[in-house]
């Protein structure tokens, strides 16, 4: 066996050591990937999405509905307000539905278009690109940033680094305040925080999320996507040969190599050169530092930056675009991508089904709940006029956001008398304890335990009152 197997050493993240020129001056193992800026259609698309979702994130907690914060996840009061909808611990199943729908939506999108969530919508990517933008604006282009890091500390380096970190911390703080504003009223949160009058826990969580944002988007960046986020690991289970992902057309690109711009494409092809001019731009713009020419890698977040970079190169070379593109394995092999396939249809059907059930759950959900507590000590008592009396406490939960008046009725208990208040006014989101008793002539009782029901109806909704009914028991064991 004298023939040698050609071995190619592939490192997903090339490293740059600012102080060691003998290495490829591109990346550094733990400190930083120097991402080069890129322009193009996908970059514009990502900016649009990033800006859109970031604006939503920043604006939503400031919206008002019925005179209070429209979206507020109030853990203290154990209720989530989402516009007109108030969710209680009892509505946890609804939260489970929402998570299931979100999971199937992710499965569906990933099977169809790979990790587009990661590349275009994930907060980690959005915030990382915002941080990179500040880095570029303050420290300069990729090349300048590399030179700056190689230099010893001087005044110019000091002020640039200081300003960058101030900007990063500022964004992190605003992000953290906005995020905490989803859990505590945001209007007072900002004022109290900057007047140093917030509670210990509010300050703790704001600082905690500031640190998380600063650490993730400023320092960890691709490490979060490649080593921590579990999604990168299980995404391959959803991929198939028809999934659209960012891929390099090796057949067209190889054999790669530099060439003069004056030499025509055909002449290059005649000497065995493919369309890749080996400029490395696709690697330099990659936020996770990989070389897409090495094939599909789990580090790829499908951001399309390499597509834009390579298309720019192809344009300059007068070559057709698309050497790197969003494509499928089938298409790369010369076939036609099959859009409607069993896995995608399956995910789609489950997604539709789950979404339908979620909508049904929300629509059919009653904004009123009733719990009955039977007083068992004593189990019953005899009144002065010979009636048997049972005592109950009705817990009326007004799950709406406005004050409601309710009236209590007793059904299926012949000859009863209701003693005590049978009406209650309950504020939005409050539980009202209504004690009352039922008295009955023992002649009307035929068994030790008689089943009947309490019905609570809203008074102010004449046409279609909100009502709930709960079964209870009237006890007279000495019968
Ligand atoms: S390989 Fe391309 S699409 Fe994948 S992460 Fe890098 S730049 Fe983005
Ligand atoms: S940007 Fe395009 S031409 Fe340049 S190295 Fe990457 S694949 Fe080759």
Cα 320 to middle of ligand 1, angstroms:
20
Ligand sitting nearest the alpha carbon of 33 = 1
- pLDDT at residue 464, as a whole number: 80
Mean pLDDT comparison of 329-333, 398-402, 426-430, highest-scoring range: 329-333
- Please give the distance, rounded to the nearest whole angstrom, from the Cα atom of residue 126 to the centre of ligand 2: 25
Relative to beta strand 245-248, strand 85-87 is unpaired
Can you give the residue ranges of every domain in the chain?
41-87+122-237, 245-332, 368-475
278 touches ligand 2 (CB under 6 Å)? yes
Tokens (6 digits) for 331: 């298409």
Q: What is the pLDDT of residue 364?
A: 83
**pLDDT greater than 80 at residue 1:** no
Average pLDDT over residues 353-366: 88
Over the stretch 136-190, which tens digit does the pLDDT of each residue have?
A: 999 999 999 999 999 999 999 999 999 999 999 999 999 999 999 999 999 999 9
User: In this structure, which residue's CA is closest to atom 7 in ligand 1?
Assistant: 286
The answer to whether 124 touches 225, Cβ cutoff 8 Å, is: yes
pLDDT given at position 87 = 83
Is 94 in contact with 83 (CB distance < 8 Å)? no
Q: Which residues contact 149 (CB under 8 A, 6 or more apart)?
A: 18, 32
- Secondary structure of the chain as H, E, C letters: CCCCCCCCCCCCCCCCCCCCCCCCCCECCCCCECCCCCCCHHHHHHHHHHHHHHHHHHHHHHCEECCEECEEEECCCCEEEECCEEECHHHHHHHHHHHHHHHHHHHHHHHHHCCHHHHHHCHHHHHHHHHHHHHHHHHCCHHHHHHHHHCCCCHHHHHHHHHHHHHHHHHHHHHHHHHHCCCCCHHHHHHHHHCCCCCHHHHHHHHHHHHHHHHHHHHHCHHHHHHHCCHHHHHHHCCCCCCCEEEECHHHHCCCCCCCCCCCHHHHHHCCCCCCCCCCHHHHCCCCCCCHHHCCCCCCCCCCHHHHHHHHHHHHCCCCCCCEEEECHHHHCCCCCCCCCHHHHHHHHHHHHHHHHHHHHHHCCCCEEEEEEECCCCCCEECCCCCEEEEEEEEEEECCCCCEEEEEEEECCCCEEEECCCEEEECCCCEEEEEEEEEECHHHCCCCEEEEEEEEEECCCCCCCCEEEEEEEEECCCC
How high is the pLDDT of residue 402?
Answer: 82
Nearest C-alpha to atom 6 of ligand 1 is from which residue?
A: 286
Confidence band for 399, pLDDT divided at 50, 70 and 90:
confident
Q: Calculate how far, in angstroms, residue 152's C-alpha sits from the geometric centre of ligand 2.
A: 33
pLDDT for 304 beyond 50 = yes
How high is the pLDDT of residue 462? 66
Dihedral (CA of 300, 304, 310, 314) sign: positive
Residue 479 pLDDT level (bands cut at 50, 70, 90): low
How far is the C-alpha of 473 from the C-alpha of 308, rounded, in Å?
A: 72
Tell whether ligand 2 has an atom less than 6 A from the beta carbon of residue 285.
no
Mean pLDDT of the chain: 88
- Distances, alpha carbon 32 to alpha carbons 29, 96, 217, 288, 380, in Å: 7, 39, 12, 10, 76
The dihedrals phi and psi of 440, each to the nearest 5 degrees, come to: -150, 145
pLDDT average, residue stretch 452-469: 86
Question: pLDDT tens, 53-86?
Answer: 999 999 999 999 888 899 999 888 888 888 878 8
When computed from its CA atoms, the radius of gyration of the chain, rounded to whole angstroms, is 33
Ligand 1, atom 4, residue with closest C-alpha: 300
d(CA 157, CA 162): 8
- At what angle are helices 305-316 and 41-59 packed, to 10 degrees? 150
Q: Is the CB of 281 under 6 A from ligand 2?
A: yes
Answer whether CATH 3.40.50.150 is correct for domain 368-475: no
For residue 15, the model assigns a pLDDT of: 39
């Amino acid at each position: 066996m004298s023939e040698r197997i050609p071995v190619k050493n592939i490192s997903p993240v090339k490293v740059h050591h600012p102080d060691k020129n003998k290495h490829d001056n591109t990346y550094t193992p733990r400190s930083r990937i120097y991402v080069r800026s890129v322009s193009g259609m996908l970059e514009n698309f990502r900016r649009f999405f990033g800006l859109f979702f970031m604006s939503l994130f920043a604006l939503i907690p400031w919206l008002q509905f019925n005179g209070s914060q429209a979206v507020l996840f109030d853990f203290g009061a154990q209720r989530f307000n989402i516009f007109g909808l108030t969710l209680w611990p009892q509505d946890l199943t609804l939260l489970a539905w929402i998570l299931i729908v979100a999971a199937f939506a992710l499965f569906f999108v990933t099977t169809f278009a790979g990790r587009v969530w990661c590349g275009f919508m994930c907060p980690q990517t959005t915030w990382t690109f915002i941080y990179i933008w500040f880095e570029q604006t303050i420290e300069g282009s990729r090349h300048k940033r590399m030179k700056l890091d190689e230099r010893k500390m001087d005044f110019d380096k000091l002020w640039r680094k200081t300003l960058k970190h101030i900007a990063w911390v500022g964004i992190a703080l605003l992000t953290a305040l906005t995020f905490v504003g989803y859990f505590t009223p945001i209007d007072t949160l900002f004022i109290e925080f900057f007047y140093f009058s917030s509670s210990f826990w509010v300050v703790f969580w704001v600082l905690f999320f500031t640190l998380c944002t600063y650490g993730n988007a400023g320092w960890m960046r691709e490490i979060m996507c490649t080593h921590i986020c579990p999604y990168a690991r299980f995404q391959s289970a959803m991929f198939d040969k028809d999934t659209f992902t960012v891929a390099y057309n090796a057949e067209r690109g190889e054999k790669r190599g530099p060439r003069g711009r004056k030499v025509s494409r055909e002449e290059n092809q005649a000497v065995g050169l493919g369309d890749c001019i080996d400029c490395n731009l696709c690697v330099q713009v990659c936020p996770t530092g990989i070389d897409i020419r090495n094939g599909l890698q789990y580090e790829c977040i499908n951001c399309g930056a390499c597509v834009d970079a390579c298309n720019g190169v192809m344009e300059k070379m007068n070559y057709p675009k698309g050497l790197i593109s969003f494509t499928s394995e089938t298409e790369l092999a010369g076939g036609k991508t099959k859009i409607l396939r069993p896995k995608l249809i399956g995910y789609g059907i489950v997604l539709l089904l789950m979404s339908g059930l979620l909508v049904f759950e929300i629509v059919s959900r009653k904004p009123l709940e009733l719990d009955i507590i039977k007083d068992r000590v004593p189990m019953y008592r005899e009144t002065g006029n010979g009636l048997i009396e049972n005592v109950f406490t009705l817990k009326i939960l007004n799950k709406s956001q406005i004050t409601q008046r309710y009236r209590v009725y007793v059904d299926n208990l012949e000859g009863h008398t209701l003693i005590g208040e049978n009406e209650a006014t309950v504020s939005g989101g409050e539980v009202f304890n209504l004690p009352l008793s039922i008295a009955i002539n023992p002649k009307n009782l035929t068994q030790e335990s008689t089943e009947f029901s309490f019905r609570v109806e809203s008074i102010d909704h004449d046409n279609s009152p909100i009502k709930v009914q709960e079964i209870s028991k009237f006890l007279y064991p000495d019968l």
